[in-house]
């Protein structure tokens, strides 16, 4: 597919002020001093460039014009989030232990839960949920959930009220265990929820302000919204420019900063409770491979232990250490924004 090297050298990309003006920021309205950038489609290596605007005021990167044929960039046979997960069946005794462990993670005293929790690392999903005021009966929604992999895990963890929504699945899915996935977008979703999550779906939405206002209507007072997104006020974005893996043109329509998210949250009636960075080694490994012109679909085999080695074990460990350090400093390239209705 690729020929081993980038066709155009974009390293050191600082953006250009294109002929005329790149236009006004669709988040904050600023029209002065905005820059244009031209990242390429790199997931499949289609070698097509797209214009993005970088707002000089709020820092948000945004695609200049949403392609009319956006669906073309989400091929159903290749795009990972649509693949239906395998149904896992676990014995009742194991499920009971898992439920006790969940109650323990959610703050309910339980000796069995504490003991079982010690046998494994706390799954990341409980990091997200502990910021909400959650019980196993809380109403939880996952927006842009693909086929609902995370909701199925939560079901096995003992959560009882789980709904997913994704406008791009083929049809509604009822797993028959209480988990339902609806083929619809946030604006068509009905009902009220205690915890609504968007895991790397918000950056794909063409109208983020509208989406946040719709979320505001779906979450109860005292409830929590988690928006997990790539963030462009990050070291990896500065270091790699248009080869930054999370740019993902043209699928990522908006790449926010803390400032642009504050603005959106405020306008929609939310306070930001916390911003927790959760970037990984991938911000370096995949961006380095983009610099070399390797499309994302080929990156899996470059992981340590898989096929050809792009990075030594030592380099990979260094990427992981640097990611952890950046997350501590708030400069990793992805973050969890926890919002609460005002």
What does the binding site for Zn ion look like in residue numbers (CB under 5 A)?
Answer: 25, 27-28, 30, 55, 57-58
Shortest distance, position 185 Cβ to Zn ion, whole Å = 24
Pairing label, strands 270-277, 334-341 = antiparallel
Nearest distance in Å: CB 28, Zn ion: 3
Under a CB-based contact definition with an 8 Å cutoff, are residues 84 and 108 in contact?
no
User: What is the Cα Rg of the chain in Å?
Assistant: 21
Whether the CB-CB separation of 223 and 196 falls below 8 Å is answered with: yes
Cβ nearer to Zn ion, comparing 27 with 326: 27
78-84 contact pairs (CB < 8 A, 24+): 78/44, 78/297, 80/146, 81/145, 81/146, 81/147, 81/166, 82/146, 82/147, 82/168, 82/169, 82/170, 83/146, 83/147, 84/147, 84/173
Least distance from C-beta 259 to Zn ion, angstroms?
Answer: 8
Which lies closer to Zn ion via its Cβ, residue 29 or residue 222?
A: 29
Residue number, 33 or 75, with CB nearest to Zn ion: 33
Shortest distance, position 203 Cβ to Zn ion, whole Å: 15
CB of 267 to Zn ion, least distance (A): 12
- Residue 24 or 49: which CB sits closer to Zn ion? 24
Of 226 and 261, CB closest to Zn ion: 261
């Amino acid at each position: 597919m690729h020929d081993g090297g980038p066709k155009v050298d974009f390293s050191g990309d600082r953006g250009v002020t294109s002929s005329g003006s790149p236009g006004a920021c669709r988040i904050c309205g600023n029209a002065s001093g905005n820059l244009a950038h031209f990242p390429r489609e790199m997931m499949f290596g289609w070698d097509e460039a797209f214009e993005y605007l970088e707002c000089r005021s709020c820092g948000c990167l945004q695609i200049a014009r949403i392609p009319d044929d956006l669906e073309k960039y989400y091929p159903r046979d290749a795009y990972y989030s649509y693949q239906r997960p395998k149904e896992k069946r676990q014995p009742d005794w194991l499920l009971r232990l898992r439920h006790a462990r969940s109650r323990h993670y959610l703050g309910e005293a339980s000796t069995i839960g504490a003991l079982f929790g010690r046998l494994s690392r706390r799954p990341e999903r409980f990091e997200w949920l502990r910021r909400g005021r959650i019980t196993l009966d809380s109403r939880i929604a996952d927006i842009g959930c693909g086929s609902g992999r995370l909701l199925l895990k939560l079901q096995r963890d003992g959560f009882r009220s789980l709904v997913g929504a994704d406008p791009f699945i083929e049809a509604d899915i009822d797993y028959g265990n209480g988990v339902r996935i609806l083929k619809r977008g946030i604006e068509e979703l009905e009902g009220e929820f205690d915890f609504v999550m968007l895991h790397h779906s918000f950056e794909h939405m063409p109208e983020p302000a509208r989406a946040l206002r719709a979320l505001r209507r779906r979450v109860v007072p005292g409830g929590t919204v988690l928006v997990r997104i790539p963030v462009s006020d990050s070291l990896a974005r500065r270091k790699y420019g248009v080869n930054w893996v999370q740019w993902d043109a043209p699928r990522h329509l908006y790449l926010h900063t803390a400032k642009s998210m504050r603005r959106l949250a405020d306008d929609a009636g939310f306070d930001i409770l916390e911003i927790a960075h959760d970037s990984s080694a991938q911000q370096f490994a995949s961006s380095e491979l983009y610099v070399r012109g390797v499309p994302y679909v080929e990156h899996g085999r470059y992981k340590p232990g898989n096929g050809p080695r792009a990075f030594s074990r030592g380099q990979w460990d260094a990427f992981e250490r640097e990611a952890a350090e950046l997350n501590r400093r708030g400069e990793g390239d992805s973050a969890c924004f926890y919002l609460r209705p005002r």
